[in-house]
Amino acid sequence: MKNSVRNTTFAALIALAATSVLAAGTHAGGHSHDDAIGKPGVLAKATRTVSVDMTDDMRFNPASINVKQNETVRFVVTNSGKLKHELVLGTEKELKAHYEVMKKNPEMEHADPNMVTLAAGKTGEIVWQFTKAGKVDFACLQPGHYDAGMKGAVNVTKATRK
């Protein structure tokens, strides 16, 4: 009987610990990348590289980027500030919803192909194919950064038929 109680208690503690780890905010693979913003690109198919700088002035440089429909772009993103920043591609609605989650869980980690989170002084990249004409927003969703204006847009022009 003692072993049964001990085993049950041990199993309950393991389950509780696993739940706590999930609640702490590992945030991988939880987003669908619908065609509204495009899809993860293949580096070998990138037609150009766009450098983006993130600053502690809560700005992206450049904040407006022009691409063509179906173009695959390699974004080289640098955090030149002293704070953690990120660049997340999405619709305005998705970004606002994700930002609300980030404000409640500021230590959430990300591992999605439409984003890069960088410590001060670090550089990373996103390779993305823009499959639809229109606007794809991007923002830093670290708490306080989006509200301070750290956002921008990729303007996707309609592909011309040959």
Percentage of residues in the chain having pLDDT higher than 70: 77
- Give the confidence band of 35 by pLDDT, cuts at 50, 70, 90: confident
Distance, CA of 50 to CA of 147 (rounded, Å): 25
Q: Are 146 and 139 in contact (CB under 8 A)?
A: yes
Indicate if the pLDDT at residue 26 is higher than 90: no
pTM of the prediction? 0.77
Distance, CA of 156 to CA of 37 (rounded, Å): 10
Between 161 and 93, where is the model more confident?
A: 93
- Check residue 107 and give its pLDDT: 77
Quick one: residue 159, left, alpha or beta (phi over 0 = left, psi -120 to 50 = alpha)? beta
- Check residue 74 and give its pLDDT: 98
Between 109 and 117, where is the model more confident?
A: 117
**DSSP, residue by residue, 132-143:** SSEEEEEE--ST
- Check residue 36 and give its pLDDT: 83
Reported as a single tens digit per residue, the pLDDT across 38-89 is 999 999 999 999 999 999 999 999 999 999 999 999 999 999 999 999 999 9
- Give the confidence band of 140 by pLDDT, cuts at 50, 70, 90: very high
Distance, CA of 96 to CA of 157 (rounded, Å): 24
Distance of CA 116 to the CA centre of its chain: 5
Distance, CA of 45 to CA of 43 (rounded, Å): 5
